[in-house]
Amino acid sequence: MLEHRHAKLVALFTFLMLVIGGTVNVKGASLACTEPTLFCRGELFPEMKGGVLYEHGHRLWGMGLGFLQIILTALLVIRRRDMRRLAWGTFAMVCVQGTLGALTVAFKLPWYVSTAHLLFGMVYFATLLWIVYLTRPAIGPLPEEQHRHRARLEALGSGRRWIELALGVLFVQLALGALVRHFEATLACIGMPECTVDGRWWTPFIEQRLHMIHRGFGIVTALVTLVAAVQVWRRAASWPALRALAVAAPVVAAAQVALGIFTVLTLRQDIVAVGHFAGAMLLWSAWIGAFIVTGSGRRSMVGAVAGEEKRRGFAGAVP
């Protein structure tokens, strides 16, 4: 289905948009373009060198994403009346995200706007994944698919709560990471595992405290991810897709811990720091995916029902 394929494209563009945004910070290019508009240094297409390459490249990618979102909204409004609220909702979200980006530059990176810009981008990305799921084609006869989904949910039991817990903990860790990034606290502690090279774990300085809180909560996040993944995997014997997500989550979490350590040991080498951010996006994707596929039967089947009804109507119109 066209809207399903296009929704996947918009989700991919958003994933890359967030990774590019993480690269802008790593390169220290957040204010390479001082205008809070589509222009940089008075031009729409300035010389793409130095920080301008990353900051304005991020803006240009955002413009492309906005165009793709307009197309997605139109497709859903025209072809999927049951999803009009989501269509207009995601359109509003991308507008808000662009506004937050402009405010970040206009007010010279206030921490609350910068952090909201990142976290709201994560929520927008999650909403796109939901649209991808809802627009998927039906697999087999609808009554059988609905029955299979309900049976899987019954077998999952409390596994759904573990998914919600893992998502909540991860969101807090993402917020802490955003604050560490904004306050340039990534290298506030260069000791490992202690904060300072002289063996101190806790200091009076806010940047070092924030760094250590992020480290400590990262371990908590990894442990919660592991326990939640085990609980979900044990209860999802007949749910291959969910089991795959349950396996992927702790693997990505372990990689995240390793990348976090190497970010410090390499003094925030660009490729390591960007990889650390991309890993956070992948972990968020895994748990959001698990949350979406384990949704209630009625909501999770909306896409399949609408798609099947549309195909039946088309088939009935063919002589």
Residues 10 and 132 in one domain: yes
Query: Given pLDDT bands bounded at 50, 70 and 90, which one contains residue 128?
Result: very high
In terms of residue numbers, what domain contains 289? 141-319
272-277: which pairs have CB atoms within 8 A and are 24 or more residues apart? 273/22, 273/26, 273/186, 274/19, 274/22, 274/23, 274/26, 277/18, 277/19, 277/22, 277/26, 277/177
Residues 289 and 148 in one domain: yes
The pLDDT assigned to 316 comes to 42
DSSP letter string, 60-97: HHHHHHHHHHHHHHHHHHHH-GGGHHHHHHHHHHHHHH
- pLDDT tens digits, 153-168: 999 999 999 999 999 9
**Of 69, 101, 136, which residue constitutes the final position of a domain?**
136
Residues 227 and 253 in one domain: yes
φ/ψ of 49, rounded to 5, equals -135, 155
Residues 128 and 43 in one domain: yes
Q: Which residue has the higher pLDDT, 189 or 302?
A: 189
Residues 48 and 183 in one domain: no
Asked if the model's pLDDT at residue 299 lies above 60, the reply is no
Q: Burial, 2: exposed, middle or buried (Cβ in 10 Å; 0-12, 13-18, 19+)?
A: exposed
Query: Given pLDDT bands bounded at 50, 70 and 90, which one contains residue 150?
Result: confident
Residues 117 and 165 in one domain: no
Query: Given pLDDT bands bounded at 50, 70 and 90, which one contains residue 315?
Result: very low
**Of 101, 136, 171, which residue constitutes the final position of a domain?**
136
- pLDDT tens digits, 243-255: 999 999 999 999 9
Asked if the model's pLDDT at residue 215 lies above 60, the reply is yes
Q: With pLDDT > 70 as the criterion, what percentage of the chain qualifies?
A: 91
Residues 175 and 281 in one domain: yes
**What integer is the mean pLDDT of 194-201?**
93
Residues 44 and 150 in one domain: no
Residues 193 and 313 in one domain: yes
Cα 270 from chain centroid (whole Å): 20
As for how many domains the chain has, the answer is 2
- pLDDT tens digits, 53-65: 999 999 999 999 9
The pLDDT assigned to 139 comes to 63
Asked if the model's pLDDT at residue 308 lies above 50, the reply is no
Residues 157 and 278 in one domain: yes
**Of 90, 110, 136, which residue constitutes the final position of a domain?**
136
**What integer is the mean pLDDT of 213-241?**
95
- pLDDT tens digits, 71-93: 999 999 999 988 999 999 999 99
Asked if the model's pLDDT at residue 193 lies above 60, the reply is yes
Residues 74 and 150 in one domain: no
Residues 167 and 74 in one domain: no
